[in-house]
């Protein structure tokens, strides 16, 4: 079994698409406003966005809840500069969950944010080892 893509349900597809395209700077591979569906290339798998109402109609059930509760999971992205990326994402509409800081036990610098629908996003960069030069 191979994980091919992850689909996030969105309250407002246009707002969510702009966030993932403009703030996260993912390459959009497909977008159909009429059905409320978009997909993005993440460099190894696909991130899809689907409108909550359209998804509920498609599967013939009640509308899924409006936002995730308790952060049931997160999407993690390796970045070159955690602090600069964090600042850019906040400027483009992300909400701060945890500001950038070093986590020596995880050997990484990390920050956590959420997208307009409350999905948790982690950005990280491995910490340099003491004998490694920093960039």
How far is 95 from 44, CA to CA, in rounded Å? 26
The helix (H) or strand (E) run that includes residue 13 is helix 13-18
CATH fold, domain 67-135, is: 2,3-Dihydroxybiphenyl 1,2-Dioxygenase; domain 1 (3.10.180)
How far is 26 from 127, CA to CA, in rounded Å? 24
**In the chain, domain spans:** 1-66, 67-135
**Choices 3.40.50.300, 3.10.180.10, 3.90.550.10, 3.40.50.10800: CATH for 1-66:** 3.10.180.10
pTM of the model: 0.78
Can you give the pLDDT of all 135 residues of the chain as single tens digits?
577 789 998 989 999 999 999 999 999 999 999 889 999 999 888 999 998 888 888 777 776 665 566 677 789 899 999 999 999 999 999 999 999 999 988 899 999 999 998 899 999 999 987 665 555
Residues 6+ apart with CB under 8 A from 5: 39, 45, 46, 47, 48
At 112, phi and psi to the nearest 5? -130, 135
């Amino acid at each position: 079994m191979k994980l091919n893509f992850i689909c996030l349900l969105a309250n407002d597809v246009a707002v969510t698409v702009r966030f993932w395209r403009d703030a996260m700077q993912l390459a959009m591979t497909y977008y159909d406003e009429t059905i409320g569906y978009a997909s993005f290339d993440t460099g190894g798998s696909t991130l899809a966005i689907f409108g909550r109402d359209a998804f509920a109609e498609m599967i013939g059930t009640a509308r899924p809840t409006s936002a995730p509760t308790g952060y049931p999971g997160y999407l993690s992205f390796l970045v070159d500069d955690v602090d600069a990326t964090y600042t850019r994402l906040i400027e483009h509409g992300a909400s701060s969950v945890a500001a950038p800081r070093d986590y020596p036990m995880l050997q990484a610098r990390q920050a956590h944010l959420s997208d307009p629908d409350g999905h948790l996003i982690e950005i990280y960069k491995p910490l340099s080892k003491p004998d490694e030069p920093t960039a």
